[in-house]
Amino acid sequence: MRFFATVISAAALLSLAPAPTHALKILMNNDDGFGSGNLREFYRILKGMGHDVLIVAPATQQSAQGGRADYTTEANLTAPTQYNIVPAGAPSVGTDPHDANIWYYNGTPAACTFVALDYVLPRHYPAWNQAPDLLTSGPNFGTNLGPFVFTLSGTLGAAYAAVERSIPALAFSASNPSIAFANVTNGSNPATWAAGVSAQIVDLFAGRTAEGARVLPLGYGVNVNIPELNSSAMPEVVASRLTGNAVVDIAAYNETTGLFHYESLEPPAAGVNVCYNGDCGLPGETDVVASGKVSVSVFTVDYDAPSIGYTDMVFEKVFGERNGTGGGYGRRDVGVRRGAARGRRLMTGRDALREE
Ligand SMILES: *[C@@H]1O[C@H](CO)[C@@H](O)[C@H](O)[C@H]1NC(C)=O
Ligand SMILES: *[C@@H]1O[C@H](CO)[C@@H](O)[C@H](O)[C@H]1NC(C)=O
Ligand SMILES: *[C@@H]1O[C@H](CO)[C@@H](O)[C@H](O)[C@H]1NC(C)=O
Ligand SMILES: *[C@@H]1O[C@H](CO)[C@@H](O)[C@H](O)[C@H]1NC(C)=O
Ligand SMILES: *[C@@H]1O[C@H](CO)[C@@H](O)[C@H](O)[C@H]1NC(C)=O
Ligand SMILES: *[C@@H]1O[C@H](CO)[C@@H](O)[C@H](O)[C@H]1NC(C)=O
């Protein structure tokens, strides 16, 4: 049975999710900063479920950093951290004064992943062996949908940095607005609901991973996006793909101000929606979240093109036809799977429209 190709209803989710048989060592990160209400609620709930959790997250808001690993050149903070949790003058890496398992570092999300693995864990958590069972990133304030976020989003950057260090990672992005953890005063608010949905997804992975086994195969990560929530009810969870009506930016120029800002390209670009890998029959995560459901997309950090005819055509530009086959590098079917957004007009250039 291909469980991943089915829609998991809220009721089914509860019955399918086995009780966790063992606690996971979970390293938590994000890009909104270590004082984020979403992150702190996720931490509280995972801890309550019995997992061994630790936050190492940016000292300040670090959205849109992608996988950039930026390390501060100052040993001590030159300004207070987010929400004045830690004052200026304190070390650039340290802990929340109220919880010694909540660390901040004054750098980007990917830098926090590396500081966690190479400094915080070996020095302060030797039992972790520098190898958490799982890294979670987020839940972000705002969704991260489509392949474009893989170079843009700090939430994803923290996750793929972990995957590249052989640590399984789940990236979570929600649709609620930013809220400081100190402003979360009850259990009935969008930050707690987003954290609750994220924790239930973590528990699906925990419940189906044998003790000592990897949560995800080497090189794999998962991108989870959560729609706007109006209660603690678990929405439907749908297996999805990154591509399919995914957006990419344009540089929009304002003639009055002489300044650029980004806008989403409409109709969507063909380039960011091409489907070469994975199951092109799955719905795009962008559409899944728009329909009020939770999307679960699976990615790998193996960015090599798949072994198909198009790839042969590219190698042939450099090496010519290979091995006297007279027909190409390996000559497989060049008429490969097409763009994921079937039936949509896709932008193939700035001006040209192509019927897909
Ligand atoms: C950082 O602060 C500590 C005191 O917390 C001080 O001893 C140290 O000299 C400072 N380092 C720098 C580079 O300013
Ligand atoms: C937290 O609540 C205070 C008081 O209501 C408000 O001024 C502040 O903007 C809130 N901050 C965040 C980040 O939600
Ligand atoms: C819980 O807090 C939220 C703000 O975070 C507020 O909008 C809501 O009214 C509160 N609910 C209760 C039952 O106090
Ligand atoms: C350009 O910027 C001006 C000044 O901020 C603003 O009033 C105007 O609406 C903008 N024009 C467009 C087309 O966005
Ligand atoms: C929550 O309410 C908004 C606005 O009515 C709606 O768009 C959204 O789909 C709802 N979310 C869910 C999970 O039902
Ligand atoms: C050519 O084909 C032979 C037999 O399949 C293979 O052993 C050899 O590695 C190939 N050479 C190149 C350059 O692809």
Domain ranges in the chain?
A: 7-240
Would you state the pLDDT for residue 356?
39
Separation between Cα atoms, residue 71 and residue 53, nearest integer Å: 24
Would you state the pLDDT for residue 321?
81
Among this protein's residues, is 173 annotated catalytic?
Answer: yes
Backbone angles phi, psi at 223, to 5 degrees: -110, 115
Task: Give the pocket of ligand 1 (CB within 6 Å).
Answer: 75-76
The residue to mutate among 72, 73, 74, 76, having the most atoms of ligand 1 within 8 angstroms of its beta carbon, is 76
**Burial 54-87, CB ≥16 within 10 A → b, else e:** bbbbbbbbbbebbbbbeebeeeebeeebbeebbe
Would you state the pLDDT for residue 40?
98
Q: Where are the alpha helices (DSSP H) in the chain?
A: 10-16, 37-48, 109-115, 121-124, 149-152, 154-164, 190-207, 285-290, 309-319
* DSSP 3-state of 49: coil
Closest ligand 4 atom to the C-alpha of 255?
A: 1
**Distance (Å) from CA 260 to ligand 4 centroid:** 11
* DSSP 3-state of 174: strand
Would you state the pLDDT for residue 22?
80
* DSSP 3-state of 1: coil
28, 32, 116 from 130: Cα distances, Å: 14, 24, 8
- Ligand 3 pocket, residue 186 CB under 6 Å: yes
Tell me: the pLDDT tens digits for 184-231? Answer: 999 999 999 999 999 999 999 999 999 999 999 999 999 999 999 999
pTM equals 0.88
The tokens for 11 are 């009721």
The tokens for 168 are 């399984």
Topology of domain 7-240 in CATH is: Stationary-phase Survival Protein Sure Homolog; Chain: A, (3.40.1210)
Estimate the share of the chain in helix, then strand, then coil, as percent rounded to the nearest 5: 30, 25, 50
Of these residues, 92, 153, 173, 240, which one is catalytic? 173
Closest ligand 3 atom to the C-alpha of 187?
A: 1
Q: Any idea what DSSP says for residue 74?
A: -
What averages of pLDDT result for each successive group of 10 residues across the chain (356 residues)? 38 46 92 98 98 98 97 98 98 98 98 98 96 98 96 97 98 98 98 98 96 96 98 98 96 98 93 95 98 98 94 92 57 47 60 43
Backbone angles phi, psi at 226, to 5 degrees: -115, 130
Look at ligand 5, atom 9, and give the residue with the nearest C-alpha.
Answer: 292
